[in-house]
Amino acid sequence: MTETQENPNNRWGREILEIIKVLVISLAIVLPIRYYIAQPFIVRGASMEPNFHDKEYLIVDEVSYLLQEPKRGEAIVFRYPLGPRQFFIKRIIGLPGEGVDIKNGRVRVINNAYPEGFVLEEPYLTPPGRATRPDLRIKLAQGEYFVMGDNRDFSSDSRVWGTLNKKFIVGRALFRALPVTSLGFVANYAVDY
């Protein structure tokens, strides 16, 4: 064999080694992103319609809440408190330390800035001004959130199973990847009051 000729076994061995290197590098990049930065989530059910539909594929931002607190109006993905293997998507209505009062179909939030409370404007509801039932009043402790689905008549949420502890929050819905016709960033309804 001359120097220009290569043993076929050596060539195959180098090609396999290169493929393994590419796979290891790819996994080293993709896995941390998948588990610590952004996570896929598939919407199940009609509780967030018309803003999120069954079988939509979302990308969830897991980093933002390490840097800032969740805000009212954000759509979040979280582990269901009564069965943490399940994931839910709902919208934040009440923040830690606030009171939430649902009466006559309206949601009123009571906090330090608004001790008499204010009626929550909810532009994500269809039709606008849609009534919220049942009547209830709740005071949130530190680290607790009150969440509800946008499709109020068909949502199991804080009205049914209680408050959501921050430890269950995975992240906020950031990007809609599927279906392709809905591709794009999720509308942000976060408010600072």
pLDDT, one tens digit per residue, over 44-75 is: 999 999 999 999 999 999 888 989 999 999 99
What amino acid positions are annotated as catalytic residues? 47, 90
- Residues 82, 109, 105, 126, CA torsion sign: negative
22, 158 in Cβ contact below 8 A? no
pLDDT band at 1 (very low <50, low <70, confident <90, very high): very low
Distance (Å, rounded) from C-alpha 153 to C-alpha 81?
Answer: 21
Domains of the chain and CATH, by start: 9-96+140-185 (2.10.109.10)
**Model confidence pLDDT, tens digit, residues 29-43:** 665 555 556 678 899
Q: Could you give the percent of the chain with pLDDT greater than 70?
A: 89
